[in-house]
Structure 1
Amino acid sequence: MSQDMQHSQIEILFEDNHLLGIVKPVNVPTQEDASGDPDLVNLLKQDIKERYNKPGNVYVGLIHRLDRPVGGAMIFAKTSKAASRLSETVRSRHFRKFYAAVVHGKLPSSKGTMTNMLLKDPKTNTVTVVRPGTPGAKEAVLDYEVLGTSDHLSLVKVELHTGRSHQIRVQMSHAGCPLYGDQKYGNGLNKVGQQIALWSVLVGFPHPVSKEEVTLTSMPPSQHPWNLWNPQLLQSSFN
């Protein structure tokens, strides 16, 4: 593994000729952005090139995204055919995405569905909940289940049915329960320097070639606020 990969501590969860599943480190951008910092797509290209001694360009296809401060399970395509088929899986909502989140306060019920219309402002890179019919707004749907509460915080399992920008962060904040550590959508409750408590725990999908179900899992780090709960609670909740 290359020095950059080692430096970023990128763990590989799954790999074959078509796919590469990894644990995204926190604070590494998924793709190139204005910061100019090393991004996952280019780090993975470099790693594949070195590990397999490949000449020329290496293909790494981005299938889904995680916000820069968010870590956890991600899948990338190693061929354009795999990328095309997986992207169709995402569009047809056969791509499963489960997250763990720690939010402030208590949600209105122990489990439920949130459906909102979201509008992104590209100038400020912020998303707001708007009324249905607002030009440019997109529907955002998620299911949630509260797994436990501790110290005015709630541990929540989230299944995303759509993949809108900042979706979980915005919808939880709109419900009155912003994510722990989220400066953008909960700055009244969070302190500068806190790491956002949102983690991609599971992604599942039919393999683009074999059609067999592939499931990748990654658990959040055992540090505050995740360590307020027994790690077995998360493990059992996502099995």
Structure 2
Amino acid sequence: MPVTDRDVLFEDNHLIALSKRAGDIVQVDETGDKPLDEQVKSYLAHKYNKPGTAFLGVVHRLDRPVSGVILFAKTSKALERMNAAFKNREVKKTYWAVVRNKPAKSSSTLVHWLVKDPSKNVVKPYPAEVPGSQRAELSYRLLGELGGYYLIEVDPLTGRSHQIRVQLSTMGCPIVGDNKYGYPRGSRKGSICLHARRLQFLHPVKKEPVNIFAKLPVDGFWERFEQF
């Protein structure tokens, strides 16, 4: 499905943010499916009647089955500065996740050391540092319960591959639909109940606070949690 005006959450001369649909890939992969960055380039070229393709830089990524805020840079200056902001942990990321098992603690901080197996595209957690591992840290709090499902707000302090998915699973709370990390069955829609809810940062050029918020997907399940 091509990008439309309805998908855009924020745009100025330097940045564009969209509400990513679960199932979209951010950059090209082995599937050959058209990635989101190419769709956004086409959208911008058409919107502003630009010949050829518009510049677009990938600032960060979301896993294919995850929905929510995704940010791109429209200028090389913004790309360089936003890359630095993410690297220096100057961007506050907030996610919502739905799980079936109630967390043992209503709020806590999780720290693991993660090792990725690229051949299987899975990440294995360890309680202490091992060769080839990366430190992963997040904080979470329980927002509420609805129909036997629990809504958790997650603030990752690091940006490791599959971090939220594997760390919540490790504490006994696999995300609904995420059979790669312990949920008993996958979603027929190819999605998991993990949503990038909010991005907060200082604008790379204007130096003004930016707060980008994405509503929950309307799929007959997710939107019920908007009440929280």
Contact preservation (8 Å) 1:10, 1:24: no
Deviation, structure 1 residue 213: 0.7
Find the aligned partners of 1:52 and 1:227 in 2 and give their Cα distance. Answer: 33
What letter is aligned with 1:77? A
The CA RMSD measured in Å over matched residues stands at 1.7
Q: Are positions 1:109 and 2:105 aligned together?
A: yes
Q: Give, in whole Å, the separation in 1 of the partners of 2:97 and 2:193.
A: 6
Q: Whole-Å Cα distance in 2 between the matches of residues 227 and 78 of structure 1?
A: 31
3-state DSSP of counterpart to 1:177:
coil
1:175 correspondence with 2:161? no
Distance 1:92 1:191, change over 3 A: closer
> Structure 1 residue 22 and structure 2 residue 28: aligned?
no
Query: Is 1:190 matched with 2:185?
Result: yes
Q: 2:138 aligns with which of 137, 142, 153?
A: 142
Counterpart of 1:36? 32
The amino acid of 1:25's aligned partner reads: R
What SS does the corresponding residue of 2:3 show, helix, strand or coil? helix
Deviations 1:47-100 (A, max 9, x none): 111111212342111111100011111111001110010111111111011001
Normalization by structure 2: what TM-score?
0.93
Q: Is the 8 A contact 2:136 2:160 kept in 1?
A: yes
1:86-235 alignment, distance < 5 Å: 86-187=82-183, 189-193=184-188, 195-229=191-225, 231-233=226-228
Match of 1:4 in 2: 2
Deviations, residues 104-154 of structure 1 (Å, cap 9, x unaligned):
201121111111111100000000102423111101111101011234421
Are 2:216 and 2:223, in contact at CA under 8 Å, matched by a contact in 1?
no
Deviating more after overlay: 215-224 vs 40-49:
215-224
Paired with 1:219 and 1:160, the residues of 2 have a C-alpha distance of 19
Residue 67 of structure 2 contacts residue 217 of structure 2 at CA under 8 Å; is this kept in 1? no
Question: What SS class does the counterpart of residue 4 from structure 1 fall into?
Answer: coil
* One-letter amino acid of the structure 1 residue matched with residue 160 of structure 2: R
* Counterpart Cα distance in 2 of 1:164 and 1:191: 22
Task: Calculate the TM-score normalised by the size of structure 1.
Answer: 0.89
Would you identify which runs of 4 or more consecutive aligned residues in structure 1 move more than 6 Å? none
Change (3 A) 1:180 1:208: same
Give distance in 1, aligned partners of 2:224 and 2:72: 32
Where structure 2 has 5 or more consecutive residues not aligned to the other structure, the ranges are none
Paired residue type of 1:172: L
Tell me the matched-pair count.
227
CA distance in 2, matches of 1:89, 1:98: 16
User: Is the CA contact (8 Å cut-off) linking 2:27 and 2:35 kept in structure 1?
Assistant: yes
